[in-house]
Amino acid sequence: MARAPTPPRTAPAPRSPRKRKATELIVSLDEFASICSVTPETMRKHLADAPADAGWMIERGRRGVGYKIAAAGAVAWWKTRSTAGDADDDARRAAIAEWRVSNMGDGGDDEGFGLTGKERSQEFQAGLAELEYREAIGELARVATIYDETVNAVIELRRQLLRIGPEIRRKFGFDKEVEVAIEDLIAKRLLAFIATLGVDVAPADG
């Protein structure tokens, strides 16, 4: 009995492009990564796991062809993915903390132990912004600024004090020895003052 001829295989029909709304925002890989606050390299790895039939994937990137992504749908997908990742991170941090307590006891400094690198960076940036604000309103000052102003004030003070000896000598007609004695006394007291402040002012400055 003769077999019926096998019908020739036909290639699957190409996927027809999805119609887009006129107001729909279409972005590239780099733009989508920027929206989600990750690097393009990181986002490329995540998109490799995206569903093949994702409606928001207008054009999947390949050699010579860039991604075309419907931003609204892609962001919704990213939120569910990143939320799941956060839950995994929370579970991992909790497990590490539990292991630490069970194996090392309650000793040690727990400050910031449960923070991720991103959370630590955000905390640092927030602290830096607070310091800059407090400096702007005059509540804080930089140590270097205070030090420089103190050095300048000490130099000017010494210049003014060392003029006292000659002025007294001229006013009262004293001998040169009196002027020198006054200058020596002022210089000694001034050196003691500089040492107390802890500033670097050489005796010959001024």
pLDDT of residue 94: 62
- Buried b / exposed e over 123-149, threshold 16 CB at 10 Å, is eeeeeeeeeeeeeeeeeeeeeeeeeee
pTM: 0.34
Within 8 A by CB and 6+ apart from 161, the residues are 186, 190
Instruction: Please check whether residue 113 is in contact with residue 92, taking contact to mean a CB–CB distance below 8 angstroms.
Output: no
How do the pLDDT tens digits run along the chain, 206 residues long?
Answer: 455 555 555 554 555 555 555 567 899 988 998 888 888 888 888 888 888 888 899 888 777 678 899 988 899 898 887 666 555 565 666 666 666 666 665 544 455 555 566 777 777 788 788 888 887 888 777 788 888 888 888 888 888 888 898 999 888 888 999 889 998 898 888 888 888 877 777 655 44
Closest to 96 in 3D by CA, of 118, 114, 119: 114
